[in-house]
Structure 1
Amino acid sequence: MKFPSVSFWVYLLVLLLGVFKRRDSIEMDINGIIGETKRSVNFPTKSAIYVWGYNQSGQTGREGKDGHLRIPKQLPPELFGCPAGANARWLDIACGREHTAAVASDGSLFTWGANEFGQLGDGTEEGRKYPKKVKQLETEFVKSVSCGAHCTAAIAEPRQNDGTILSRLWVWGQNQGSNYPRLFCGAFSPNTIIRQVSCGAVHVVALSEDGLLQAWGYNEYGQLGRGFTCEGLQGARVINAYAKFLDETPELVKITQVSCGEYHTAAISEKGEV
């Protein structure tokens, strides 16, 4: 049997390399096109909120019904002041211990459920079994929301904005100083851009665009990241050192994402470290 010459194999290798190179070139061209036209992509214009589970305080939005939901059920648009069949889209949703908050695509924030600590942001301490827009934030475009056990925090920008005021933090409810949403800077300067906020059971952590974290609330389990535990409500303070391992000296780390559990906190650094 006669095998192909060396020159044939060289020619075949060059041909295959050319095919792979051409395929990579095509993929790059497609990616470039997608990147250039991403503003014109048709995103979904309609979405829905589904709720289920414990409903003692009406946190599942079932007005006049105390029964618990065992399967997910859609909340009708009429509950949010939208006509039946209207195109409603939702940007974010969060659950507290017994209250719920949702951000509509027009930047409106709705809350419902328990309210004994003012966590619904309506200035009262009366619970509500149906969604209602938070009037104090009607002049703001809410971008995201987080619920603690009995408090709520949201990131928003003014609707009438000349571009000088960016994402700011609003807080209310238990240990947040008000039953209405109030601007909160804490340990950050007033012009700090807030990237994310996360609420635990009795503590809150906010992340700045610069990758800094500040935390406030209770610290009986060390959830504020200060290197010690203590009793009583603690004021806001920047977490300025992180240890990769317990036996290493803490160092400065830039954070890109944070999440609070009931009594603990976790974060991801810009290097992908947890």
Structure 2
Amino acid sequence: MSGDVDVDVDVDVDEVVKMEQEMKETMVLMWGYLPGVSSQTQRTPLVLPEVVRLPGSISIGNDSWKDVSGGGCGFAMGISDSGKLITWGSTDDMGLSYVTSGKHGEIPEPFPLQTDASIVQAAAGWAHCVAVTDGGDVYTWGWKECVPTGKVVGGHSAEGASENDTRERHNSLLTEQGSPQSQVSRPSVSVSGFDSKGGAEENTKRRRISSSKHAVESSTSGDETQAALPCLVTLNPGVRIAAVAAGGRHTLALSVSDVGQVWGWGYGGEGQLGLGSRIRMVSTPHLVPCLESPSYGKDRFLAASRGNVMSEGQICKAPGSYVKGIACGGRHSAVVTDAGALLTFGWGLYGQCGQGSTDDELSPTCVSSLLGIQIEKVATGLWHTVCISTEGDVYAFGGNQFGQLGTGADQAETLPRVLEALNMEDKNAKVVSCGARHTAVITDDGNVFCWGWNKYGQLGLGDVIDRNVPSQVPMDGRLPKNVACGWWHTLVLAESPT
């Protein structure tokens, strides 16, 4: 009898998939150090992954974590499913420039932006933040040098302090990378670095940086006068942005409305804005001439008509018709084209431009040794660059004082070097992120590997010992989806096991 019964069951496959996805909890894991967070008030780093809870104010209902954002010196950022930018970190004012980026509270909370639009991507530099809405608008805030004003900054700021003094103050902090303990315990910033390892090399190799010691301010007045509230970035009519990247004091934005072109602003003294010259401060978004394209001439004319300063240098003819990925390091930049070509520009002192020398690159320049290899993604740190190919191989170059290249040594590399770590031999890298001096990747089999500087537990390996080869982070069965490195911490967006 049962074999004769025809049961009509209407199954909605999409609904089943949706239910299965909802059963998986999306979470953010963090390790490393954020000053001011209650669990780290004694400056004890998180040496193993720890779950970061969404704030109660938005976790009511079905809201969850959607993504994590890289960068941030003393603060962290993520994005919720509802499109809220979530920030947390330190509210302390110990003279560190990260207070100018919004005074993020120690508990994750939505950051107050003057828009109801959903945030789809965000990034943070040394002391500034930038976020993109689902409508392609860009908001930025923090250190005033990094926020567009619509004009090229002159010799003096509105507050009366010289722009050169501001630059020297910030360069001093950026060079030392703001060790939390050293900034708190010492009245001034040491020129030779806060760690003995690599300190002599950094001291002798520093270029165009003020050698004078800068006293760390103990009050809010100095940083407050240099802070800018969130503002909407003015771009050419019709330009919509899909992604942003933030460096030490510069920003890149990738547009979608004009077929993958790159816009930049901020400090360009080492060529990190790719405009062909050492422009100390660009306070209006400029088109970065990465590729020759039919629309480039039109955009160049539009930019010039608005008073923008464009480079007259030679345009780099790299394979590809548009840019699909961008990254900002401390003072260098990198972009990836649709054809898989990697272009770099900016400070080259440690070989972070991958051109086989330590020269600065003032214009986007193809990394010729990688031609023939299709690069999929790129990430940049303070002095190093790491990229992954479509085949899942990892290539690294630049500064390596703390093993951040993962080569098994501490020598800098001026040319890309493929990683040959035994524990990653049969794995394909899919996602990469760089902190100031550490690196993290996610492989296609759901593992996270970290290497480099680990003084503050930013490798998540249970200790504070540096690693010069990729080391697997214990994830307890959680499936990583994205990774974002900050200066002293690492964030991973992950799904819980079903």
TM-score, normalised with respect to structure 1: 0.71
> Does structure 2 conserve the Cα–Cα contact (< 8 Å) formed by 1:186 and 1:237?
no
State whether structure 2 residue 377 is matched by structure 1 residue 144: yes
User: Partner letter of residue 343 of structure 2?
Assistant: F
**Does structure 1 residue 61 correspond to structure 2 residue 286?**
no
Q: Distance in 2 between matches of 1:139 and 1:88?
A: 16
1:45 deviates by 7.8
With over 3 angstroms needed to count, the CA separation of the structure-2 counterparts of 1:221 and 1:206, relative to structure 1, is: same
| Structure 1 runs of 4+ with >6 Å offset | none
Question: In structure 1, what residue type is equivalent to 2:450?
Answer: A
Matches within 5 A, 1:199-238: 199-230=434-465, 234-238=468-472
Aligned pairs for 1:4-153 within 5 A? 46-76=259-289, 80=291, 82=292, 85=295, 88-153=321-386
Is the partner of 2:374 in helix, strand or coil?
Answer: strand
Q: Secondary structure at the match of 1:140?
A: coil
The whole-number CA distance in structure 2 between the counterparts of 1:259 and 1:187 is 24
Q: Deviations over 1:59-116 (max 9, x none)?
A: 011222423111211123xx54x25536932110000000000011111110000011
Distance in structure 2 (CA, Å) of the matches to 1:256 and 1:83: 34
Q: Which residue of 2 aligns with 1:259?
A: 484
| 1:183 Cα deviation after fit | 1.0
Structure of larger gyration radius: 1
Alignment size in residue pairs:
213
Q: Is the 8 A contact 2:260 2:324 kept in 1?
A: no
Gaps of 5+ in 1: 1-24, 29-42, 158-165, 243-250
Q: Is the 8 A contact 2:351 2:357 kept in 1?
A: yes
Query: Structure 2 CA distance, aligned partners of 1:238 and 1:65?
Result: 41
- Note the C-alpha offset of 1:124: 0.5
- State the alpha-carbon separation in 2 of the partners of residues 45 and 69 from structure 1: 22
**SS of aligned partner of 1:72:** strand
Asked if 1 retains the 8 angstrom alpha-carbon contact of 2:477 and 2:496, the reply is no
Match of 1:239 in 2: 473
The verdict on how the C-alpha distance between 1:207 and 1:90 changes in structure 2, with shifts beyond 3 A counting, is same
Give the corresponding residue for 2:91: none
With over 3 angstroms needed to count, the CA separation of the structure-2 counterparts of 1:83 and 1:66, relative to structure 1, is same
Q: What does residue 129 of structure 2 align with?
A: none
> Cα gap change, 1:130/1:212 in structure 2, threshold over 3 Å: closer, same or farther?
same
Verify the 8 A CA contact 1:187 1:237 in the aligned structure 2. Answer: no
Which residue does the alignment assign to 2:65?
none
Cα deviation code 1:222-258 (max 9, x no counterpart): 000012224x554321112x4xxxxxxxx34221211
Checking the alignment, whether the CA contact within 8 Å between 1:96 and 1:149 is kept in structure 2 is yes
Q: Residue deviations 1:13-68, cap 9 Å, x none? A: xxxxxxxxxxxx9x99xxxxxxxxxxxxxx97822110001112110112224231
**Structure 2: distance between partners of 1:172 and 1:66:** 25
In structure 2, how many angstroms separate the alpha carbons of the residues matched to 1:267 and 1:226?
14
Instruction: Structure 2: give runs of 5+ residues left out of the alignment.
Output: 1-11, 16-255, 297-319, 406-410
Which of 1 and 2 has higher RCO (CA within 8 Å, sep 6+)? 2
Change (3 A) 1:259 1:187: farther
Q: Distance in 2 between matches of 1:199 and 1:84?
A: 34
Is residue 189 from structure 1 mapped to residue 453 from structure 2 by the alignment?
no
- On the 8 A contact 1:98/1:113 being kept in 2, the answer is yes
- Structure 2 CA distance, aligned partners of 1:126 and 1:101? 15
Normalising by structure 2, report the TM-score: 0.40
Contact 2:321–2:339 (8 Å) recurs in 1: no
Q: Assess if the C-alpha contact under 8 Å between 1:48 and 1:88 holds in 2.
A: no
> What is the aligned partner in structure 2 of residue 7 from structure 1?
none
Which residue is 1:33 aligned to? Answer: none
